Amino acid sequence: MEFFKIKRDIPFMRHVLVFNIVSIVLFVLSVFFLATKGLNLSVEFTGGTVMQVQYPQAADLEQVRARVGGMGYSDVQVQNIGTARDVLIRLPAREGASADQQSAQVLAELQKTEPGVQLLRNEFVGPQIGDELTEKGLLALLFVALGITIYLALRFEWKFGLAAIIANLHDVVIILGFFSFFQWEFSLAVLAGVLAVFGYSVNEVVVIFDRVREMFRKHRKMTTQQVLDHAITSTMSRTVITHASTEAMVLCMLFFGGPSLHYFALALTIGIVFGVYSSIFVGSGLVLWMGVKREDLIKPGKSSANPNDPNAGAVV
């Protein structure tokens, strides 16, 4: 399915140097902010109090969030759990106050506007659990990266696998850089969004690289730059359809999904935009810089008996 078809190849690779410089600057800035400012980790990572309360009728989450925020909690998470009456509240650890004291203070504050609120449970999530979640999250990211690299190296060639994994890590680091610079809350939901972007971005790279291999088989006289330009241009309609529809859904979550989905959707929004950018200018650009040529994908074989055969001398 195509909404449009571009007849003349767009010279993407002509401008790849400029965009690669932009990518390097963004990547370095992201690493700098991560090293100096760090991430604003949520309760799951830093430790704190988790309490569940029940209202006699559907709870107004905005009012609950405002009441708890008025107590001096800046990084508080409020969401429904199970039903509209049940509310889960995550509070960051406060020095000199136990989990029981924190939950009692919050419950008393909530009962000022709704006396029927009941505390169903409260528990303390220690920092050692947060360390474990951090470690497992990083291991998950490492295994995903390793699996994608091996897959692309086997399906195409090792240069393609290396280019794809660098492009995807570029997206992940830039997402983390945004969260570090603006100090947006980094929760398990955001981590899930980052991993989703990692898998989502590689799909676009695979489509482009698959078309590159196809073009190398069909057009012997085209240079690598021409092949890359043609491959990207020929997939442009699919790129627009796929990413525009995905971005539309993610933007709906961002603007209408409420605070619980806000940062998750924000991570996906940034990731989708940079996923398209990195597939074209980072992944394909690296393939160009590494000197990938037809012989890397099309292995020489026995010469054809027919000297006029365009496929003579190659196994396609």
Residue 3 lies in a domain: no
Q: Is residue 316 part of a domain?
A: no
Q: Output the pLDDT for position 249.
A: 93
Q: Could you tell me the maximum CA-CA distance found in the chain, to the nearest angstrom?
A: 91
Same domain membership, residue 107 and residue 175: no
Indicate if 86 and 109 belong to the same structural domain: yes
CATH code, domain with 59: 3.30.70.3400
Structural domain includes residue 142: yes
**DSSP 3-state of 86:** strand
Highest mean pLDDT among 111-120, 258-267, 301-310: 111-120
Is the pLDDT at 183 greater than 60, yes or no?
Answer: yes
pLDDT-based confidence at residue 26 (cuts at 50, 70, 90) = very high
Taking 90 as the threshold, does the pLDDT of residue 165 lie above it? no
Specify if 304 maps to a domain: no
Backbone angles phi, psi at 139, to 5 degrees: -65, -40
Lowest mean pLDDT among 113-122, 187-196, 234-243, 301-310: 301-310
- Domain boundary, last residue among 89, 109, 125: 125
Supply the mean pLDDT for the chain. 84
Share of the chain above pLDDT 70, in %: 91
CATH number of 216's domain: 1.20.1640.10
Residue that is last in its domain, among 107, 125, 143: 125
Alpha-carbon distance 190 to 175, whole Å?
10
> What is the model's pLDDT at position 185?
85
Banded pLDDT at 19 (limits 50, 70, 90): very high
Examine residue 113 and state whether it is found in any structural domain, yes or no: yes
Amino acid letter, residue 275:
G
Q: From 286, 253, 221, select the one nearest 23 (Cα to Cα).
A: 286
Report the residue count for the chain. 316
Asked whether residue 303 carries a pLDDT value surpassing 50, the answer given is no
Residue in the structure block whose two tokens are 């009692």: 104
Our count of domains for the chain comes to 2
Looking up tokens 């400012």 gives 37
Per-residue pLDDT at 117: 94
More confident residue, 276 or 95: 276
Whether the CA torsion 70, 74, 79, 81 is positive or negative: it is: negative
3-state secondary structure 35-70: HHCCCEECHHHHCEEEEEEECCCCCCHHHHHHHHHC
Range of the domain at 101: 48-125
Query: What is residue 41's predicted lDDT score, i.e. its pLDDT?
Result: 83
pLDDT of residue 300: 58
Which among 280, 153, 278 is positioned nearest to 228, based on CA atoms?
A: 280
Q: Is the pTM of this model over 0.75?
A: yes
User: Is residue 303, in this structure, part of any structural domain at all?
Assistant: no
8 Å CB contact between 186 and 179 = yes
Q: Is residue 309 part of a domain?
A: no
Of 163, 151, 150, residue with least CA distance to 16: 163
pLDDT at residue 34 in the model: 94
